[in-house]
């Protein structure tokens, strides 16, 4: 994996879902990643995990996706200026 890219994963317990905790955790990880100089995050999500996919789409962090065998791979840009993001 390239320097400046971290893979993220987290779970929200069933009885805590739908309360904004996933969004809070994701945005906190973005803040921490930017603070320590990360360029991007990578995350793999099962295609039927609509809750997590909704968190990622509504967070306002630029991303690209690819899909393979029912898994959606996200790559999020943490750079304030996306043109500075390394390939």
User: For position 23, which CATH number holds?
Assistant: 3.40.630.30
Is the whole-model pTM more than 0.75? yes
In angstroms, the CA 78 to CA 8 distance is 13
Domain tally, the chain: 1
User: Looking at the predicted structure, is the pLDDT value of residue 2 above 70?
Assistant: no
Q: How far does the chain reach from its first CA to its final CA, in angstroms?
A: 12
Other Cβ atoms less than 10 A from the Cβ of 66: the count is 9
Percent of the chain's residues with pLDDT above 90? 76
Residue 84, pLDDT score: 46
Q: Which residues contact 1 (CB under 8 A, 6 or more apart)?
A: 7, 42
In angstroms, the CA 23 to CA 18 distance is 10
Residue 12 belongs to what domain range?
A: 5-84
pLDDT tens for each residue of 25-65:
999 999 999 999 899 999 999 999 999 999 999 999 999 99
């Amino acid at each position: 994996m390239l320097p400046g890219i971290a893979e993220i994963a987290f779970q929200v317990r069933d009885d805590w879902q739908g309360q904004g905790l996933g969004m809070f955790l994701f945005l906190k990880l973005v803040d921490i990643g930017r603070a320590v100089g990360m360029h991007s995050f990578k995350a793999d999500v099962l295609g039927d995990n609509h809750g997590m996919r909704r968190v990622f789409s509504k967070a306002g962090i630029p991303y690209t996706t690819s899909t393979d065998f029912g898994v959606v791979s996200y790559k999020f840009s943490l750079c304030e200026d996306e043109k500075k993001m390394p390939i």
